[in-house]
Structure 1
Amino acid sequence: MDANDTILDDSTQTHNPGFQPQGERDQDAPESPRHKRLGLVLNGRYRIVSLIASGGMSDVYKAVDQNLEKSGSRDSLVALKILRTSLTRDPGARSLLAREAAKSKRLSHPNIIRIHDLNHDGDTWFLVMEMLEGEPLSRIIQRAKPNGLKWKGCVAVLRQVAEALEYSHSQGIVHADLKPSNIFFTREGRIKLLDFGVSRALQAQQPEDYLNPRTEDETSIYGYTPAYASPELIDGKDPSPQDDLYALACISYELLSSRHPFDRQKLSLEELGSYKLKKPKSMPHRFWRVVKRNLRYDPRYSSLELLQRRMEPLRWQPWAASVLVIAAAVGASFLWHQQYTRAMAAEQALAEKDEHQANISRILGLPPEQLLQEVDTLPSLERNGILRQQSGSLLEWYLSQINGILVGGRSGQELPDIPAALDLLTEAQRVYPRDHQLAELETRIVRRRQSLEAALGDELTTRLDEGDYRSQQAWEDVTELTRDLQLIGAAPAAPSEQATEQFDQQLTEALDSDNDAALARLLILGEQLFADQPGVAEKLTRAASMESSIKELGTYYAAIANGNDQAVFPAKAAEDFYADRFERWRDEIANAGSRDQLDKVYEEMIAVLNRLPPSFEPLADIRQQLSDAYLAMADSMLTRNRTRQAQPLLSRARELMRAP
């Protein structure tokens, strides 16, 4: 395999004109027209050099660790995975990034990418990762078409992937989204697995290829990539090591044939069992037998140890040599073949029995969380026996985990994550459906949610009836109460008629005055609470048509309100938002026949000037046009000796020209 490509190729960069960066910009770095983050320095340490790849949740950049650079280190390059701006205020997205960091930092293995740190600069959240050079396995597969790789090159890759999975499974972590684009081949010939556990946590979020631009055949749904996800994963069941083995079997097949074994179809367990599979030409028979069973999702062959053993050449046994000598001596080649086949079958059956018993012993020695994941791979009789035998420790573990969720609550909050606790309780009741401790705990949790829902709902109703969203703090109080109700799994009650009328009035005022800051707050609040209220929906639709510009301006105003004087004004968003109003002003100035008509434009423009930087070019042009119109009207009056009437017009023109 030849790894000539590199992830440092700047041709993968993209430009996002709506992006609002945090941090300080390196004064010596040139401004790139292709992406506004280039040259940015996060936390005074990480200087962004180029964009590597973009995904649904985040962008990945090549960066220089200036601390390492100053210390004279030869390797000061890192990769930064930065959460998309639209998700920075989403607690779920931030906690997903934190979970990815926590999972990956637990995995210290030469074939798994290293995560150094999780950090943030203002609202910009990012992971600091090992910088890799090379290419994903998906590109190697593309280059090997139509015949695929030779076995020697393929097995060198598979051994390293299997070693990484063996280690991660021993740490209780299932990859759950193993695919060619998540397997990276470095220039040194080492395999690195990427995105451990991310797809499972994403659920319905749009997933991404880590350090690799998304390709059409890698489209993922529901957090998994259907071409490599087992039927159990696609059906929503919890990931298990067997799911990683299924994906590894698909990848093995594709490496050696350049084709997916099921032509990328999403099949049920029954369809997998009947699908006609043909062995890739260069795949050894002994390896194919295990790969084929894993492609059928057969739990009897879901042993990574067995798969690894079949990757290695078959060792020659002394008794086999004796059989050959006897067969050659008597000329009974057919008899030898029968004896050899029977001996191999007996050896395989004995090995499978030993492996099964060893697997049972291994499962019994696992911690509760791993035991529960792997016990489902056993036949029902053995599964039920283990669950009965381990009921005391497993129930204790479930109760401890649920109580931990209820006590821990959300970061920075005292509220418990009741939906998460109930989800885990449902899982426990599926395993032990008649346990009285679980039933009593469910009753207590439901009562607690009802009590919290009543208290939070009453407080939200009071705030909505007050109906003042003009200040940032009042708006944050209401949105925080709404998020708290969602956290405990409750829906806010419908706003009262009084609350709806006040919201409708403020939304109308904001729309009529093009108040971008107020619209940004009201649009979010309206989508959460007032979207179904009569008379409001049409105005929200009108506001939503300007949603992108409103949200960018809203982010800017929030940053300024929080004391961030480094926030960059989103000029393009402001220009789009005020485009219609600016065009109307130009027409009214050009067609004005009286001072009153010019004064009307002036008064509207002064209100807008309070929300926009004086140097905003489109507004500066209109200010100049209005000043010229005042001067022209004053000149006309002076020629008619109407000096007193011309004086206010001249003063207004001078005032406009003096504005910065």
Structure 2
Amino acid sequence: MNDKTRIVRPSGTPPGSDHPESGLTEDGDVTVVVRQDATGANDHPRIRGAQPITPNAAADFEADATVFSPAPHKASSHQKVGAQLSGGIPANPTETPDSFEPLPSGAVTKTVIKGRFELDKLLGVGGMGAVYKALDRRKLEANDSEPYVAIKLLNDDFQKHPDAFVSLQREARKSQTLAHPNIVTVYDFDRDGDRVFMTMEFLEGAPLDKLLRDHTDVGLEPEKARSVFSDICQALIYAHSHKIVHSDFKPGNIFVTKNKGAKVFDFGIARAVSEGGIANKTGETTVFDAGSLGALTPAYASYEMLKGGEPAPSDDVYALGCVAYELFCGRHPYDKTPADKAFEQKLRLKRIKGLNRREWRALESALELKRENRTDTVEKFVQAFFVSNTWKWILGSAFAMMLVGAGVGYNYLEQQNTAEQERVKVELELKLQKELLERRISDKKEAISRLIKLSILTPAWENDLRLELREYSELNPSDENFLDNSRREISELFLAAATGQLNLGNLDQADLMLRSAANWYGVSSQAVAIKSQLTTDRENLQARLETERLEAEREAERLRRQEERAEQRRLTAIKQKQIDTILNEMEATLTCGFDMNVAAVGAQLSKLAKVDGIKAQQIRPVIGQELSNCASRLGAKDPIQTEALVGEFRALLPGYQPLKEFKLDFCGHLVPGSGGRGGGLAAVIALQMAPRGQQWLLLKG
């Protein structure tokens, strides 16, 4: 892939002292992008003694260089010439002596990008970055017969531009849209850490600029020149049909393969034409394009491009004319003088001897410096150039016949030949139009097939296919079979994707793929089967989710009850501990004697009622019985003292009937004739206290 940028000096500038004069080539095809709103010198770090580039210095460069000025950065950024990126990738790949030729070592240090692409050797460098031949390990694993790809890495300067990532993405997007046999196929666009890269098909052959240098002042062989010219014309016609102007068309962006014809590449600074030219049908706004960078190749840029005008297909017509001129005679039509300078100097084209009058007029019209005088489309250029070569010979034969019959009717033959000329002209033009239509139909069919093989299955991919199929239908409405088969293939791709998503359990994605399949080719039996399985799986999923939900609810309820029981046990233990404490205090207080603290017993009973009212009610009769027994024992000893104590007992338990009915025997404690006191008194009261069972209070008297 000839995506090269060789650093050049302004004309007449001597090489720097830090390299030999042969260190730079000045006949290269270098991309120079000049920021159109800049007014001072740009701040590129000087490379190998090159002089600073000023924004208005495009004409001072070798005219076939495309000038590039990235986002500003200071010259003291320590970007040293010869510095290496990790893995051996040159930081400044512009030092390679010639694009498409291996480095002196024959290869770079093996570096793997994204764990997949193993760099083999540097092919060339361009305005956006370096292009390497790389081994695709995935293709190698799949035993692909062509495991090599070309991989483009953004260079250091370009990556510093704020729109660099978007630019390469746009290039990949446009190139994928432009699926044509004469346009280089772009596979993918990605990044690996700080490296932004794009992969495309690897081609064997030579760049056109190298072939032209090998044929300086003579041009290619006529048959080869016409073949290359035809191929690149078809590429531009196809690009323009997609509303894209290349904007940097030149020999350095054309690759002549060994067996696949000529191919155009590097749409990195191509842009969609504005509403003033051709409406943009891609649905995208080109954020990073030739307009925002002021990208141009002075020797091949039209007068309007150099003046900052809006892009139009005629800009590519001018560049195509320059390339065609070089193909047939081996030199640039204006000796690589930019169009604006050529206009100021009133330069004139030198006639190419190998072209007939009609071909020369077609080429001359394409090389008009002003747009209003120039052929406005490539298709018209092709018609004007190729039609003449055939019908002029026929007209010559007709003229010879006219001379033979001049003696028998000159005027009659002249009229007949004039009519014949017109007839032949119309016939040949119709034939050419038919051939062009057939070529466009063939190209469109191939583009559709290549898009289907990409199988990206994204909305953008579908939109591209719909556009291609609609345009094909307009070109060849009778070929319903191809259109039907294409839609069926697309539908089958979505059905296969739906099956895969279904197997992975991605039901929503599977449903989306099924809808897309139906949109392309209706509902097939396979789609019905997949839909049925999808419905079954969705029902099973819903049932499983419902079961899991109920199980989760049951588990939550079990845990809640378990926590409630644990809390209840904790509260019961605390309550029982409080009850035990109160009963122990009450047991100590209920010691039968004349000094009993009845008020303390009442306080303890009230305290127990607050903790457990039921137990407090249960224990009141027990306490009443104990107090009654105590009163009986004390009354037997001293009824006088006991009487006051019984009053306190009754006040403590006013509802206890035995205490109400209790009567003291004021004489019962006396033993007739003894005059002595009774002996010791002891009693035991049993208290029924569930759940602890029985508690015994020992009353000593």
Structure number with bigger Rg: 2
Please report the TM-score for the alignment, with normalisation by the length of structure 2: 0.41
Please report the TM-score for the alignment, with normalisation by the length of structure 1: 0.43
